[in-house]
Amino acid sequence: MAYQSKDLRDQLTPIAAKLREGRSVIRPVSQATLRLKAIPGRDRYAETVDNILRWMNKRAGRTLPDTAWQRQSFELSEIGAQRTAAVAVKEPRYWAARLDDADKTVPMRTWVTEIGVGVDESGDVLFGTRLICATRGSDEPFDRTVPGFVKGIIASGSVELEGIAISDKPSLISSQAEVDGLVSLLESPGRSCDVIVFSLPKGSSNVEDAAASVADVHVKLNGVAHVFVLSGEASYFLTESVGRELSVFHQGVRTYRPGFMAWIAEPSDHPLALPTRIAGWNEEGARAFEKWLVNSALASSVRGRLREERLPAFNTVRQLAAQAERAEVRAAGGDDVDLLNLYEQDNDQLRTELKEQREQYDGLLTAAEAERDTAIQAANSAKAQALERLHRIRTLEQRFIATTGVREPALPDSLDLFEDWCRDNLSGSVELVGRAFQGVRKSDYHDPQFIYRSLLLLRDYYVPMRRESLPDNRKAYADALNSLELEESSTGDGVKYSADLYSVQYGGARRSLDRHLKGSNSRDRRYGFRLYFFWSDEEQVAVVGWLPSHLDNRAS
């Protein structure tokens, strides 16, 4: 009988599975952080806390104590009560609360709501809430939501999300100035919320013409994400600003994630849904798409390392409040007995909180690992399908060319429809990233047709040579370069000393533009020519990152 060894991980797998039994799976559900503008004659801080207390009182299982209604610290510990607590900090003025609400239908599932309300130097009220799902039993799927009291807080007066005033209706964008404002929001480095843009048909300004219900999505995401509607004309303005690959038009819906920059963004990082896809979403149609869109935006609201900076966890605030209380007792001349009692209370509380935090982090890790594994499987499956389809397309192209001999497309005299031309004639062989389209849009190169010819040179000669390095292919490529008076070479020091300029984001990674086609060396942008690219060995395509002007480096 052959001996089969197992590594340590295999041996410990059954034990690890046993240890995970009974642990919570922690899933952050949604988060909203808002600025409530000061209103003369009103105490918006007190109004907001009272609004939340009324909501908590209905779910706590017991009536809140008098200290709660005085907006002071409290904790419910009675039998039959759900875990409910609040902490009030005097300076700076801040109130934090937490409520654990048992799920009515799924056993051993709890919805944890954390809330923070503070006042800044301007008198505005800073409000935030986070919803967390903790499951010890069966990890049943759920639809993400925002706590119900958020709607009442938004309706209470002037409220802003990332400096943008919140309205009870989605914003319609029609003018160039409004599009410029949208682009500024999209590219804002401090933006942490998704921006969802519905586009209307050509010539339309009627929100009802969108491919899905803008109103329903807006209501469910109000206070969490920005929702806009582009008129038909405004879609053209947006395309002019960010390029066709990153724009949205003709009833499409695009979600712009945080970190968007038009000159480096990858279209796949900012999901686009076309109207035909929306109409048949999961074989259910627009309603199913709306649900997916809402869940996706709410999931995005709880991602990112700054999540707790925007809304500190309840236990963090409670620890800070305990420190402040000890400092206050010491400053007032409190004796050692008083301080010792406070330290003992704090130690008991810290032990409890450390246990909770350890369980929470373990639960978060478990959920993150499961989501990561699912995402990797989905990505691998999608990549395999894409490569298979790409192979089939190339096979069909080769058969078509062998049959018809047709290969040379028309060469436009302008760059007005450059992106459309590239999509129709280069896909599957030469890919241009958004930054390359930006370069062409800003270009005043004197010979547009030369730009098209250089791209066809890559498609017809460079790519075949890289796919099959045969003598005939290499010679054909060299002859094609000579005919256009181009030279292909390494970009050299540019990659080393100007990495930001000489690299692009592609396929989820930063890739260096290590090759370029060199034409005229003129520093006059009208005549000088460069095309910067790299070869993707995995996808067997040439990826163009910039053209037609020269990129600077240390030498230049």
The amino acid sitting at 469 is S
* Contact by Cβ (8 Å): 232, 204: yes
Beta bridge partners of 115: 97, 129
The residue among 76, 88, 100, 82 whose CA lies nearest residue 49 is 88
* Contact by Cβ (8 Å): 349, 318: yes
> Cβ–Cβ contacts within 10 Å for residue 168, how many?
11
The residue to which tokens 């409890």 are assigned: 352
| pLDDT the model gives residue 539 | 84
- HEC string of 334-373 equals CCHHHHHHHHHHHHHHHHHHHHHHHHHHHHHHHHHHHHHH
pLDDT tens per residue, the chain (556 residues)? 444 445 655 655 554 445 445 567 888 899 999 999 999 999 999 999 999 999 999 999 999 999 999 999 999 977 778 999 999 988 888 999 999 999 999 998 999 999 999 999 999 999 999 999 988 888 888 999 999 999 999 999 999 999 999 998 899 999 999 999 999 999 999 899 999 999 999 999 999 999 999 999 999 999 999 999 999 999 999 998 998 889 999 999 999 999 999 877 888 889 999 999 999 998 899 999 999 999 999 999 998 766 777 788 888 887 777 666 556 655 665 555 554 554 555 555 555 655 565 555 555 555 555 666 665 565 566 556 666 666 666 666 666 656 766 567 889 999 988 988 998 899 888 999 888 998 898 888 999 999 999 999 999 999 999 988 899 999 999 999 999 999 999 987 767 767 778 888 887 788 899 999 999 888 888 999 999 999 998 888 999 999 999 887 644 4
Kindly give the residue spans of alpha helices, DSSP state H, lying in 116-253. 149-154, 176-186, 214-221, 232-242
**CA distances to 34, 137, 286, 352 from 250, in Å:** 32, 45, 16, 55
Two tokens at 2? 């052959």
The residue to which tokens 């929001």 are assigned: 185
Phi/psi for 345 (5° steps) reads -60, -45
| pLDDT the model gives residue 530 | 94
The residue among 254, 268, 239, 179 whose CA lies nearest residue 437 is 239
- Check whether the bond before 258 is cis (ω within 30° of 0): no
The residue among 36, 86, 32 whose CA lies nearest residue 311 is 32
CA dist., res. 353 & res. 360, Å (int): 10
* Contact by Cβ (8 Å): 96, 314: yes
| pLDDT the model gives residue 1 | 42
Handedness of CA 391, 394, 400, 402 (dihedral sign): negative
CA dist., res. 236 & res. 183, Å (int): 13
- What is the topology classification, in CATH, of domain 163-303? Glutaredoxin (3.40.30)
| pLDDT the model gives residue 375 | 56
The residue to which tokens 């109409």 are assigned: 279
pLDDT in tens, 443-478: 889 999 999 999 999 999 999 999 888 999 999 999
Kindly give the residue spans of alpha helices, DSSP state H, lying in 405-433. 418-426
CA dist., res. 498 & res. 548, Å (int): 18
CA dist., res. 477 & res. 465, Å (int): 7
Residue ranges per domain, the chain?
22-159, 163-303, 407-546
Residue 350: left (phi > 0), alpha (psi -120 to 50), or beta? alpha
DSSP secondary-structure letter at 259? T
**CA distances to 253, 287, 389 from 231, in Å:** 12, 22, 35
The class level of CATH for 22-159 reads alpha beta
Please, what's the largest Cα pairwise distance for the chain? 97
The residue among 128, 136, 105 whose CA lies nearest residue 367 is 136
3-state secondary structure at position 534: strand
